[in-house]
A and B are shown apart, each in its own frame.
Chain A
Amino acid sequence: MIKNKKAGVFAIGLVLGMIIFIGMSWHAFSTTNKNINAGVIKTTASINIKNMGDRLSFYINESSKLAASQAFYEIVKDSAIDKDNPSCTVTGDTIIWNSNCMPEKIFLQNKFTDEYGKSFFDSLKAYSETNLTDITYTHTFENGEIKTKTDPKTFSSEEKGTFATYKLEYEFNPSITLILEEENINLDSFDFIYIKTNSDIRECRDEEAVDMVLCVKNKLEFDGWTVDVKKQGSYLIFELETEEYFFFEDKGMKFEKIILKFAMII
């Protein structure tokens, strides 16, 4: 009987020991797995979210370049003047440049910034991977650069693992600075074109040149533009074509040289 009691206690102890052993083993197994799983999911999710940041950065960079090209086209299309200026008149379909209707630096910078902002926002609206339109963007023109500033945007990603769901947050700042010279855009060139053309016409007039077109054409030379001059009545019609190609939208997307057209009185 005493022997049986001892055996009973031993058996119970054995069973309890086994339960504790199995329980601890299971706990160690699940905890380790959970940690490994968390590590893998965390690494995977952070790589995915970094890649998403890369894609977004690429998209914003490309959109910025495209917006700058479009803004430049909008300026050149209107002969680089303020179309609402009542002093501006036309000969045929060409704007006449004169002292009351000529390219003005501040106006061009403001118009460029506005057009850039519009085009840039259009591209943000189209981005499908995440919503980019809920952020306020401010664009400023400074020393030949267009700066887009905004507050950082937080993206979150949820990854489901075998043992738990992991949530990751990532902060991305879509601010960007575009150097316009690198995009072959120089807004100061319009001001210079007006001054140089005006003085060359005056010189040719003073020289009493027989062929005004040839005289002016021989004098004119602008970096980044090829010049063509024609005579139309008492005006010279100038067609300046960019040496570089630009992407812009005008009844569909185009990749062409942009033409600046204006007239000046002889």
Chain B
Amino acid sequence: MEIKNKKAQAGELVQDTVGLVIVALLLIIFIIISTVLWGAPKKEIEKIATEQITKDQEHLSLQAWLQKTVEIEIEEEKQDITIAELIRLSKINPIYEEILNQEAEKSLGIYNYEFNKQAGSLFYIPSDEIITIRLEIK
């Protein structure tokens, strides 16, 4: 009788141990899954934030650049005009494209300017076209 009880006690101990191991395993799996699920949105948020910072920097740099005043020469006369006007002028007369490129090289640093992109600042040139300009990292 005592032997039987001892056997039963040992069986119960094994049963409890196995139960505990299963519960521990379940918790570990849950923690792993949670970590993986937490990681994905974090990465997505980081990606969105980085993209947003880049876009915002491009936007601010473009706005500042467009309003910058430069001195150009027209028919041997010096004239102060903004980059926005120089861009418009370069569309009227291709001679000014070279001056615009030089100005961009001088003041845009890490950026290049590009025309005809979906996003960017727009200009109106009557009877001609709408120009869209944006900055892009070199």
Taking beta carbons and an 8 Å cutoff, which residues of A are in contact with B? 14, 18, 22, 25, 29, 33, 36-37, 40-41, 43-44, 47-48, 51, 54-55, 58-59, 62-63, 66, 70, 119, 122-123, 126-129, 162, 245, 247, 249, 252-255
Contacts and interface: CB of A to CB of B under 8 A. Distances in A.
Contacts of B56: 47, 51
A162 B59 CA distance: 26
Contacts of A127: 122, 124, 130
Nearest to A3: B12
Contacts of A253: 88, 91-92, 125-128
A70 B124 contact: no
B23 A14 contact: yes
Given A18-B26, A37-B41, A47-B52, A59 B121 contact: yes
B123 interface: yes
B49 interface: yes
29 contacts: A36-B41, A40-B45, A43-B52, A44-B48, A44-B52, A47-B52, A48-B55, A51-B55, A54-B63, A58-B63, A59-B121, A62-B123, A122-B126, A126-B124, A126-B130, A127-B124, A128-B122, A162-B44, A247-B88, A249-B126, A252-B92, A253-B88, A253-B91, A253-B92, A253-B125, A253-B127, A255-B74, A255-B88, A255-B92
A33 to B, nearest CB: 5
Contacts of A254: 92
Contact of A51 (B30, B59, B91): B59
B89 interface: yes
The secondary-structure label for the interface of chain B is: helix
Counting chain B residues whose Cβ lies within 8 A of the other chain, the interface size class is: 35 or more
Contacts of A247: 85, 88
Nearest to B89: A255
A150 to B, nearest CB: 18
Nearest to B63: A54
Nearest to A22: B30
Interface string B2-36: 00000000000000000000010010001000100
B79 interface: yes
Interface of B: 23, 26, 30, 34, 37-38, 41, 44-45, 48-49, 52, 55-56, 59, 63, 66, 74, 79, 84-85, 88-89, 91-93, 120-128, 130
A72 B34 CA distance: 68
Contacts of B41: 33, 36-37, 162
Contacts of A122: 124, 126
Contact of A128 (B59, B85, B126, B130): B130
A120 B44 CA distance: 43
B37 A29 contact: yes
A119 B126 CA distance: 9
A255 B85 CA distance: 10
A127 B121 CA distance: 10
Most buried by A among B74, B84, B123, B128: B123
B124 A25 contact: no
Please name the 3 residue pairs, one residue from A and one from B, whose CB atoms are nearest each other, closest first. Answer: A123-B124, A249-B126, A51-B59
A101 to B, nearest CB: 30
Contact of A40 (B38, B48, B122): B48
Contact of A62 (B48, B59, B124): B124
Given A44-B52, A54-B63, A59 B126 contact: no
A167 B46 CA distance: 21
A45 to B, nearest CB: 10
Nearest to A123: B124
Contacts of A40: 45, 48-49
